[in-house]
Structure 1
């Protein structure tokens, strides 16, 4: 089995979650320079933006880092479901003296079938490429591995782990239900067992043919040590890094993370169309009260959500947004990334 820590030359078994929209080259580089594995999330980026981010990170660190892509099923805009979701959210737009969109856009392109992004990764050869929402065909996974790239895949259940393993992925990221941001479910309409991180890690480690990384609810060194005791080779932390000055989290996001709202997170489809955990906001509360409309598919629902948040912001409401956070959010510390990694490493020894 791959010795992940030795292969990547990590000093600490600490991985910063990719967090598209929050991760930055400065954050990823700071984590990597501190001896962990920094990550970039390029699922929300154009190919040009992705290239720029990877190259910028390489200017800031000579150490390995991870580049994450989204492997969701492409959506088909223009359905009756889209129209129904627009109609359902129209009252919220009206409350903010704004008009809803007339149609929804596929704002994030899937890596599946995106030959340009695939070639970009083969050309730039980051140390790690990770997949979220599914995995590419085995031929693509094999091509990345043949280029010397280690591959990760987020999984939320044993069945997804088997599929990722069959596709040739090197490392499994066991994402517990506690985790903030989007669930890595391959099929968002499948029954979600909502396994906690400890249960999922133990189930994967028991029959593992791949190293397992623990993700979900881990906020401090004690949590990392517990994950290692469960059999994980490393821990992936996302919410713990949101308050770092190197992250791209907006001021309203940071305020929510530091206040009493941080204790109230919910798994919802309302923001993006896929299950995701974030700090509760008016859209989540409103959507949960609906009985006759379902969110549009991902990422179409995310398009209208972002436009609604812009409408709130235009009225001075910067407290409403997609503030992704896990159940451990109240434990977040506001520290520079390098100092946070050092603290996490020190806490592991207590």
Structure 2
């Protein structure tokens, strides 16, 4: 990642976490010398425009925006109906009924022309992709607009595809990472490479690599750089910051004993994602019905969480977190960046 181009004083990227990252968080990270990020994948173009405007009102420094590039789910009404039926008893526990049908609630950037038009008009310094790669025409348009392009990859094969597509920087996401796995094809075999192995494999190539997964402090950033990465991406480390959009239950769970026992689940959204153990992850382990594709399953997951929260039950949220979660610290995002910088220099926090 060309630090000079982005004017970074610290090789640290705050991960774009949909539902957690905010313009305030990203701005604080940018102002402290790192690269702040906002997630646009769960928003439409109008919402994305508002977030970008909010962020630009807070900082003049470069920042990143992130898009989901998932394959459009096939219409499998029978699987969705079976999943609704499987969840119905749990909805009933909260005196609620499940949706009668499920929708693909998040459009893929691969097909979102309005989002592309917004990015070409606003020209954020960095655009990153998760779940896959957009078409060559979109990549060419963003490059022509001056955007530095990043893509999450979980394997050497995905990295090769990203390099061939013209991606500028690879985000090597190890199995330790919280939230959704960035696998291009969730139905394919996942070798579940850890951050250490994946970064070393990819750092031998010609494209710069950012290490992501399990990194929470200055020692972790130093280790990523020693492995050959040009920067480290931290997500879980920022969840407890006051600028985070995480609710009180999420924050409490992050600081609780479950942080040491994160689990990978498809039940909440339809794609594998690392989460704090809660009632939803336990339910997913019990249900025999096949989970619908992402983001169709997420429509049901969000409805169940809303029904549970309406009666005070907070154990059905998407409480994403990585394996380094026990190292989380609750402090303002800018202060956290400065503490990490001090740790990298060997100073006491």
| Shorter-normalised TM range | over 0.9
Q: 2:138 aligns with which of 132, 137, 140?
A: 140
Query: Quick check: 1:276 aligned with 2:273?
Result: yes
Match of 1:189 among 154, 163, 187: 187
Distance 2:140 2:200 in 1: 27
Question: Is residue 15–residue 37 contact of structure 1 (8 Å, CA) maintained in 2?
Answer: yes
Structure 1 position 77, deviation (Å): 4.5
1:201-240 to 2 correspondences below 5 Å: 201-206=199-204, 208-240=205-237
Offset at 1:289?
Answer: 1.9
* Deviation, structure 1 residue 250: 0.8
Map Cα deviations across residues 246-301 of structure 1 (whole Å, 9 max, x no partner).
Answer: 1111111111111112122111111100010011111211221233x111110011
SS of the equivalent of 1:270 reads coil
SS at match of 2:129: strand
The equivalent residue for 2:158 is: 160
Does the alignment pair 1:61 with 2:83? no
Q: Secondary structure in 1 aligned to 2:307? A: helix
- Residue 249 in structure 1 maps to residue 246 in structure 2: yes
| Structure-2 separation of matches of 1:54 and 1:103 | 33
Offset of residue 160 of structure 1? 0.4
- Partner of 1:187, secondary structure, is coil
- 1:170 is matched with 168
Alignment partner of 2:313 out of 306, 309, 317: 317
- Over 3 Å counting, the alpha-carbon distance change for 1:180 and 1:325 in structure 2 is same
Give the match for residue 285 of structure 2.
288
TM-score, with structure 1 as normaliser: 0.97
Q: Given that residues 77 and 104 in structure 1 are in contact (C-alpha distance below 8 angstroms), is that contact kept between their aligned partners in structure 2?
A: no
Deviation at 1:54, TM superposition (A): 0.4
Please, which of 116, 119, 128 is the counterpart of residue 117 of structure 2?
119
Q: Which residue of 2 aligns with 1:104?
A: 102
Is the 2:279–2:315 contact (alpha carbons within 8 Å) kept by the matching residues of 1?
Answer: no
The answer on 1:349 being equivalent to 2:345 is yes
> Which residue of the other structure, out of 253, 260, 263, is the alignment partner of 2:260?
263
Structure 2 Cα separation of the partners of residues 214 and 122 of structure 1: 28
Partner of 1:327: 323
CA distance in 2, matches of 1:210, 1:53: 30
Across the aligned residues of Structure 1 and Structure 2, the Cα RMSD in angstroms comes to 1.0
Q: Are 2:304 and 2:316, in contact at CA under 8 Å, matched by a contact in 1? A: no
Query: How far does residue 342 in structure 1 lie from its aligned partner after superposition?
Result: 0.2
* Conservation of the 8 A alpha-carbon contact between 1:256 and 1:319: no
The CA distance in 2 between the partners of 1:238 and 1:54, in whole Å, is 19
Spell out, residue by residue over 1:190-218, the C-alpha distance to the aligned partner (whole angstroms, 9 max, x if none).
10000000000000012x11100000000
Unaligned runs of 5+ in 1: none
Check whether the contact 1:18–1:238 (CA below 8 A) recurs between aligned residues. yes
- Secondary structure of the structure 2 residue equivalent to 1:11: coil
Structure 1 contact 252–320 (Cα < 8 Å) conserved? no
Partner of 1:346, secondary structure, is helix
Q: Tell me the secondary structure at the aligned position of residue 37 of structure 1.
A: coil
Structure 2: 5+ residue stretches without partners: none
Matched residue count: 346
| Shift in Å, 1:78 | 5.4
Q: 2:25 aligns with which of 6, 24, 27?
A: 27
Output the TM-score relative to the length of structure 2.
0.97
Match of 2:293 among 279, 297, 304: 297
